[in-house]
Chains A and B, each alone.
Chain A
Amino acid sequence: MFNHLLSLLIWLPIVGAVPVLLAGSARPMLARWLALLITIATFVISLWLLRYDPEGSVMQLQETHVWISTWGVHFTLAVDGISVALILMTTFVGILVIAGAWKVIQNRPHQYMACMLLLEGLLIGVFCATDALVFYAFFEAVLIPMYILIGMWGGPRRVYATLKLFIYTFTGSVFMLIALLYLYQKAHTFDLATLAALPLTMKEQAWLFFGFLIAFAIKVPMVPVHTWLPDAHVEAPTGGSVWLAAVMLKIGTYGMVRFILPITPDAGAHFAWIVIVLSLVAIVYIGYVALVQEDMKKLVAYSSVAHMGFVTLGIFMAFMLVREGGNTDMASLGMQGAMVQMISHGFVSGAMFTCIGVMYDRTHTRQIKDYGGVINMMPWFGLFYVLFAMANCGLPGTSGFVGEFMVILASFSASPWIALFATFTLIIGAGYTLWLVKRVLWGPVTTEHVKHMTPMTPRETWVLIGFAVAVLAIGVWPQPLIHLMDSSVAHLVQQLAVHKI
């Protein structure tokens, strides 16, 4: 089993989607239970990944199968500490998403559940792939279930949102495909380790860098190519939003780590300032945009863009620190901060969207003005909502703090100006999050919508407890997570320092 652990993790949910689909709309409970059992099984199996040895070689649990022999493409899978952390996050969120959609989806639940499973398997695939073409295949395939999710179970403007999502991200992917083809005709392989060692001139690196950057920046999303995200979130069903925010955005930054850093380190260092500036714009500018949103989901969507800004900032700041100051410790700190932020944002944003879903199921509105005084009707829900809101504005003791803290600490060594703008998140993040809490949770009950809200069901409570445990565990003791990724991050930082020209 351990020889094919990664394959099992990918294909269990994907193949498992078939019986769920076959259960049909006539037997919705069967479909739900099957889906839940499959996600739980996937999670339990993924726990074996913790056997990953941080002291050992970087890539572990390697698997190779010939895929397209004429082109020499191999279906190769392997994981490092970063992938392990992301896969565990994915499988954990997978359970919560299925449980969260239990009663909410009444329209063809078997198809919905099958879609969820498919999405989970494909996302795990993205995090395991060590062959560029395999990565590309999974990276693109993820769009299909997401397209179906929003298109079928989405809100009134779902057609616009799905088209925007699809065309936006597909446009970016074209650039990545061209970059990959160029690399293939030079190296005659899609193997990422070989590509990393490939000598490339600055001009080649620059073209490749922007090819990859466009593809991944759209996925993250970075300013100014972020406008598909709020629309997609607003139209997506709760489960779709959770997948989108918690895991799908991470494949953008994960791609940067897997492609841009090792393949184009010199171009990366040369153009790092562009990404750093865009990240800071995301943190400050998007913070202001989030402040004035009238739709809860849009607000959290924009807040996601701002938080992902810390991930891109941490990754590209490492270039500055290593190349200009030779400061590997600080570079590792920033890079680790970025990685922790990815995991943390998965839980925090997932929890925020789940909370919005819990309220939406009762009132069928996401407009902030339709709320007020929710805590009077749902006191325990208030506890969770405040917890996740605090995590969203980076309160120490929650996971939201850890990554941002590390990135900010490292940024001051890079430049006090970067630190100044990055730290601004303390104010603006608290501003938009807690103003939301004030308008939604606190106050007297004033609207008809809120008057009819009912307390949380046990199922909803358990889902939120799941998120809360993750958020608090990472916040109180991040070291295990950091230790897991430590050698992988150190390896990445080494790659940054390698000159290819």
Chain B
Amino acid sequence: MGLSTSVLLTIALAPLLGSLVAGFVSPFLGRAGRAVAHTVTIACMIVSVALSFHVLYQLTVGGADNYNQNLYTWFQIGQVNASVGFMVDRLTAMMLVVVGFVSLVVHLYTIGYMRDDPGYTRFFSYISLFTFSMFMLVMSNNFMQLFFGWEAVGLVSYLLIGFWYKRPTAIFANLKAFLVNRVGDFGFLLGIAAVLTFLHTLDYASAFSAAPGLAGQTLQITANTQWDAATVICILLFVGAMGKSAQVPLHVWLPDSMEGPTPISALIHAATMVTAGIFMVARMSPLFEMSSTALSFVLVIGATTALFTGLIGIVQNDIKRVVAYSTLSQLGYMTVALGVSMYSGAVFHLMTHAFFKALLFLGAGSVIIAMHHEQDMRYMGGLRKYMPITWITMWIGSLALVAVPFTSGFYSKDAIIEAVGLSHRWGANYAYFCVMAGALVTGLYTFRQMYLTFHGKERFTVVASHGHGHDDHDHHEPGVLAHAPKESPWVVTVPLVLLAIPSLLIGYVTVAPMLFGNWFGSAIHVDEANNVLAELGQEFHGAAVMALHGFTQLPFLLVVAAFVICTYIYVFNPALAGRIKQALKPLWTVLDRKYWADEVEYALFASGGQKMGRLFWKFSDAGVIDGVAVNGSVRLVHRGAALLRRLQTGYLYHYAFAMIIGVIVLFGGYRLFGN
């Protein structure tokens, strides 16, 4: 039994339809346009999500075969074919459900969050368009369509980061995000070209079955240098993932992307789009298994991202930026999992992370609404009594993030840490240190954030006459609110609850099949020699046992340590934070300036590029080509003509004299050379 093409098409196209209606119909309906926009897009999303669950059910319980068919030919030149088509197996189905579910929840949340925004319908159009693009990406059965989805989600991300286009910071951030992603895509596209060169196809299934043939093939770089083909392909493809999944050093765009409205930070820049790189590498597992060099590269990059971006999170004051750096760090964990050939572990963490990180972002958004668009945690504190639902759900998300046993985050993250410990791949020791230390760091920034926001003294005052608010995104006096914070409306809190449930439970329920039960089947390919997960699985005796065991392990003890430290500092001795900051001033500066990555990359690429452009333009284009060659020839002709004109004096005796000289020269020449 197979999946039906029309069902899959409906899943992909329903959000596109919603987007078109919200974008092109709603603006012409006046006031009613807003209701039309959210009704239609949400209805389309419900259809998509319901069908996604249906597909997942069919594949897991219904016994349906994997789907892999082309829909139409995009181009056919000789033997080279590019098509638009779907490949739907359990990996895809899981992504569909996660993306669709989070997207639906975010659609709902947006009704509350963007209520007073003049760009209301445009926002719905964008997030539905995003969902369509993301579906096309995960359902693709070939590299061309993968690249389409890849760039299309980048486009929507660009539009959404710059959603408030009047803010200079927002339009700087969206340009930066697009360009940094393009650096990744530069590698990605080269990787696709390399796949076509060596495997002679753009189709996944054919490429994967031809992958073992890569062994021993080399790419001629210079006359004497040859590189292993599989390594070149995989590293190039991974460069794409580094851009999209914000790995060091291409991570710089993600924190700035927080300029966008919070719902999209949750949907795009935490739960779904940024995990596209992880998904892609998992999908390409048959290729990556061919090169352990490339996997070591993946491992080291991921480990570096996991630890060092997490450290920055500790010194952030903006509530969204803390979550953003946390996202970077967690993406690092997923990348580490890929690096030790634990693809299903990476995808598993992708799934649990999607729920709890979306929850944390939407919770942060709820706080931001309550604080009248104040995002600085230094002006928060004690919010728990004003907004209990946000408070409790965010704690649930935080516990999952720091991987307290029994929460979803525990199962995915703990498995990654243990698998890295078992791996013998080059770089695994470094990675093990990074992910272990990362557990402490995660605890530190998470508990700090929760304490600063919800606990301790209120660091804001309520002045009834002051300002008014909501729409006004520009900051007035910090820490002064027009009216007391209050719990957000149901369209905001219901999504929080909807996300809190899987954040708590999904790991417990799914860890046995997804991580240790070969649930992904043929979608993920791991060589026996690299299979750390199978090794880990031998010690697995059920989710409950794993969690109980987790209480005694080092990662959990590190989290407890972080909890104790943060509790002492932020609850019992708030002055200490400042003193620590003073004592560790150099370290604090390094983190606060984010290792100067922004400055260095800006100087190298942005100003460097402009300087180079100016040099090329003024010196070679205007100077040499136009100045010397073109206008120079004009001047030469001009001067030559002016010189020749002097001969035309108009005096008869000059001409007669010239004639006589001419005759003498002619005859003299004839006499001398004539014979």
Q: Which residues of A contact B (CB under 8 A)?
A: 164, 168, 224, 227, 285, 288-293, 328-330, 332-333, 336, 373, 375-376, 386, 390, 395-397, 401-402, 405-406, 408-409, 411-413, 416, 419-420, 423-424, 426-428, 430-431, 434-435, 438, 441-444, 477-479, 482-483, 486, 489
Tell me the residues in window 118-162 of chain B with beta carbons closer than 8 Å to chain A beta carbons: 144, 147-148, 151-152, 155, 158-159, 162
Would A291 and B165 count as touching, CB distance under 8 A? Answer: no
Contacts of A386 in B (CB 8 A): 159
Q: How far is the CA of A412 from the CA of B151 in the complex (A)?
A: 21
Contacts of B162 in A (CB 8 A): 442
Knowing A376-B166, A411-B193 are in contact, say whether A427-B152 is a contact too (CB < 8 A).
no
Would B175 and A390 count as touching, CB distance under 8 A? Answer: no
Q: How far is the CA of A164 from the CA of B182 in the complex (A)?
A: 37
Q: Interface digits, B67-84 against A, CB 8 Å rule (1 contact, 0 not)?
A: 000001111111110000
Would A329 and B78 count as touching, CB distance under 8 A? Answer: yes
Q: From residue A400, how far is it (CB to closest CB) to chain B in Å?
A: 11
Is B208 at the interface (CB under 8 A from chain A)?
A: no
Would B165 and A442 count as touching, CB distance under 8 A? Answer: yes
Would B72 and A477 count as touching, CB distance under 8 A? Answer: yes
Partner of A409, one of B79, B165, B196: B196
Q: How far is the CA of A489 from the CA of B80 in the complex (A)?
A: 14
Contacts of B629 in A (CB 8 A): 224
User: What 13 new A-B contacts, CB under 8 Å, besides A416-B194, A482-B75?
Assistant: A227-B630, A285-B616, A332-B78, A405-B147, A405-B189, A409-B196, A412-B194, A428-B609, A438-B172, A442-B165, A444-B168, A479-B75, A479-B76
Q: How far is the CA of A335 from the CA of B192 in the complex (A)?
A: 19
Q: Interface digits, B178-197 against A, CB 8 Å rule (1 contact, 0 not)?
A: 11001101100110111011
In the complex, what residue of chain B is closest to A482 when comparing beta carbons? Answer: B75
In the complex, what residue of chain B is closest to A340 when comparing beta carbons? Answer: B75
Contacts of A292 in B (CB 8 A): 610, 613-614, 617
Partner of A478, one of B75, B617, B625: B75
Looking at chain B's contact residues, the main secondary structure is helix
Q: How far is the CA of A376 from the CA of B620 in the complex (A)?
A: 38
Q: How far is the CA of A431 from the CA of B609 in the complex (A)?
A: 9
Q: How far is the CA of A419 from the CA of B188 in the complex (A)?
A: 12
Q: From residue A371, how far is it (CB to closest CB) to chain B in Å?
A: 13
Is B219 at the interface (CB under 8 A from chain A)?
A: yes
In the complex, what residue of chain B is closest to A382 when comparing beta carbons? Answer: B165
Q: How far is the CA of A336 from the CA of B81 in the complex (A)?
A: 13
Q: How far is the CA of A319 from the CA of B183 in the complex (A)?
A: 30
A-B contact count (CB 8 A): 143
Contacts of A479 in B (CB 8 A): 72-76
Q: From residue B566, how far is it (CB to closest CB) to chain A in Å?
A: 40
Q: How far is the CA of A288 from the CA of B185 in the complex (A)?
A: 19
In the complex, what residue of chain A is closest to B634 when comparing beta carbons? Answer: A167
Contacts of B151 in A (CB 8 A): 395-397, 401
Q: How far is the CA of A164 from the CA of B232 in the complex (A)?
A: 47
Q: From residue A441, how far is it (CB to closest CB) to chain B in Å?
A: 8
Q: How far is the CA of A413 from the CA of B190 in the complex (A)?
A: 11
Shortest Cβ-Cβ A-B pairs, 6 listed: A412-B193, A329-B78, A292-B613, A396-B148, A288-B613, A442-B171
Knowing A288-B616, A420-B190 are in contact, say whether A482-B77 is a contact too (CB < 8 A).
yes
In the complex, what residue of chain B is closest to A224 when comparing beta carbons? Answer: B625
Partner of B609, one of A291, A329, A330: A291
Would B182 and A430 count as touching, CB distance under 8 A? Answer: yes
Knowing A288-B613, A292-B610, A426-B182 are in contact, say whether A336-B190 is a contact too (CB < 8 A).
no
Q: How far is the CA of A333 from the CA of B202 in the complex (A)?
A: 13
Partner of B175, one of A164, A376, A434, A489: A434
Is B471 at the interface (CB under 8 A from chain A)?
A: no
Contacts of A420 in B (CB 8 A): 190
Most chain A CB neighbours (cut-off 10 Å) among B75, B79, B162: B75
Contacts of A328 in B (CB 8 A): 78
Would A427 and B179 count as touching, CB distance under 8 A? Answer: yes
Would A438 and B175 count as touching, CB distance under 8 A? Answer: yes
Contacts of B9 in A (CB 8 A): none
Would A412 and B610 count as touching, CB distance under 8 A? Answer: no
Is B612 at the interface (CB under 8 A from chain A)?
A: yes
Q: How far is the CA of A329 from the CA of B620 in the complex (A)?
A: 38
Contacts of A224 in B (CB 8 A): 625, 629
Would B193 and A333 count as touching, CB distance under 8 A? Answer: no
Would B178 and A416 count as touching, CB distance under 8 A? Answer: no
In the complex, what residue of chain A is closest to B146 when comparing beta carbons? Answer: A396
Contacts of A438 in B (CB 8 A): 171-172, 175
Would A397 and B78 count as touching, CB distance under 8 A? Answer: no
Is B621 at the interface (CB under 8 A from chain A)?
A: yes
Q: How far is the CA of A442 from the CA of B190 in the complex (A)?
A: 31
Q: How far is the CA of A428 from the CA of B616 in the complex (A)?
A: 14
